[in-house]
Amino acid sequence: MQANKDKWLVVVNVFAASRKAGSVWKSAAVMLEKAGVSYKAMFTGGVDNAIAISRKAAARGYRKFVAVGGDGTAHDVLNGIAEYVYSSAAEGVLLSEFTLGVLPVGSGNDWVRSTGVPGELEQAVAVLAAGHTMLQDVVRVSTLDYAGPASDLAAASAADVLNVSYMLNVGGVGIDARVCEIVNRKKERGLRGKKLYVQALLYCIMHRTTSRAIVYCDGDEVFRGDYYSMAFGVGKYSGGGMRQTPKAELGDGLLDVTVIPQVSVWTIIKAAPRLFTDTFHKGIVPELESAQCRSVFVLPETGSDSEPVEVDGEVIGRAPVRMDVMLEGINVVTPDPRSL
């Protein structure tokens, strides 16, 4: 097990990029060997998925992981590591002992935009081989078994947890999650590309519905009322380059919150292009609510207002939901700032 600590465990998602990741990996393997990177590769598509592969590898002593795929693959590798760390079998093991890198092959590749890892494969391998890392935040996202009043935060805090997921980048409630549902269905049919997110976003805007909820940040109410969408991020980018949380920083210990309340369809259409720039928060939607905190609750005002919840592009359940920045983060591969 000691020998495994110095070896990279490479998780290759053979389904990423319309099943092209497997062929891309052949080129990446040659590059890694040429760069002198010691690794063991394991592939999804067999008995285990990326979560199970990573969990079992962590139990065997691996502490350095590479996701070959997109944001979903990186998310799954993180969740496999976290499932091991927070299990009874890992007494004394810390999340901060682990390092996560990525060779971006998928269609979104939003998280790597924040880490600074290049999208070009050879350059990404060079960054991995250089070995520079930073400690980034991880968010524990819990859907709750709670149907009480949204105004009773104490009762919601004591509710049982239905599902847990660990977030590496950006999550959302409402339109954000509905867009992910649509995009994921299209990906299952082999479709790819940034236009999938744009088309899904436009569809959800034109068929928009509002829900009512109360949002608490670090115990304080920051929003109450009708909303279209909410985004929560430690990274800046999601949905193929959208910047719903443009002020987020990977390692500042804070979760950035953006709530889009009920506004006119014209306001939404006018503001939508700015989602892909740093100008989304600059006055175009004056009703926009934003905050920074370590803990968030989203409590629907009625059961019928419960909206889907997505984490790193994966829908994990429905609100009510709680999000907490973990006390410890994970090391992520990033370019040496001296090389930038």
Query: pLDDT by residue (tens digit) across 3-59?
Result: 678 899 999 987 765 566 677 888 899 999 999 999 999 998 777 899 999 999 999
Instruction: State residue 172's pLDDT score.
Output: 92
**CA 242 to CA 313: how far, in whole Å?**
13
Work out the pLDDT band at 2, boundaries 50, 70, 90: low
Tell me which residue of 314, 332, 313, 258 sits closest to 288, measured CA to CA: 258
**CA 286 to CA 289: how far, in whole Å?**
8
Q: Which fold has domain 3-131?
A: Rossmann fold (3.40.50)
The architecture of the domain spanning 139-325 is: Sandwich (2.60)
The 10s digit of each residue's pLDDT in 62-103 is: 999 999 988 889 999 999 999 999 998 888 999 999 999 999
Whether pTM exceeds 0.85: yes
Intervals of CATH 3.40.50.10330 along the chain: 3-131
Tell me which residue of 123, 115, 122, 120 sits closest to 99, measured CA to CA: 115
CA distances from 266 to 67, 210, 243 (A): 40, 15, 20
Q: Using the predicted structure, report yes or no on whether residue 340 has a pLDDT greater than 50.
A: no
**CA 63 to CA 225: how far, in whole Å?**
44
Q: Hey, what long-range contacts does 217-222 have (CB within 8 A, 24 or more apart)?
A: 217/257, 217/291, 217/292, 217/293, 217/295, 217/296, 218/293, 218/294, 218/295, 219/153, 219/295, 222/257, 222/259, 222/289, 222/291
**CA 56 to CA 59: how far, in whole Å?**
5
Intervals of CATH 2.60.200.40 along the chain: 139-325
The 10s digit of each residue's pLDDT in 293-311 is: 999 999 999 876 788 999 9
